[in-house]
Amino acid sequence: MLSFMPTVTLSLDWRQDMKFVSSPGSPAIELDSSAPGVTSPPQALAYALMGCMGMDVVHTVQKARCSISGMKIRFDGVRAETHPRRFTSMRVHFELTGNPADHVVRRAIDLSRDKYCSVWNTIRTDVKLETTFEVKRK
């Protein structure tokens, strides 16, 4: 029996200084360590976490037959003061607009964190993750 191992292949091209951009054929991204208005690698990780968990939450809430008309996700992270300046704690706050019950949203977030979000489950186990949410009822 053949086993399938999903793979991800991406490529970046160095432009100048600390600027990298996606190579042709790879999804668009631009990274820079300190240029204003350009995403840094740690910020890209935060965006990846928010996107991964957000997609899980939308899918789970909709699967529960609840409707939402909007979602905003906020990330707050604390980084170590010394190199490698990794994240030591993260807080992800979900603000949903719609009428899903709180227990549905909490379950969706817990499922993402504990089972489905590949980004979170790739991060070191000693990083503290706090998740919070609020629902703006229509």
Strands 87-98 and 128-137: parallel
The pLDDT of 26-33, averaged and rounded, is 96
Is residue 12 exposed (0-12), middle (13-18) or buried (19+ Cβ within 10 Å)? Answer: middle
The partner residues of 16 in beta bridges, in order of sequence, read: 19
Query: How far apart, in Å, are the Cα atoms of 32 and each of 3, 9, 12, 81?
Result: 38, 20, 12, 20
- At a CB cut-off of 8 Å and minimum separation 6, what does 6 contact? none
- The domain spans of the chain are 1-39, 41-137
Of 5-14, 59-68, 97-106, which gets the smallest average pLDDT? 5-14
Whole-number mean pLDDT of the chain?
A: 95
Task: Give the percent of the chain with pLDDT over 90.
Answer: 91
pLDDT band at 1 (very low <50, low <70, confident <90, very high): low
The pLDDT of 31-47, averaged and rounded, is 94
Assigned CATH for 41-137: 3.30.300.20
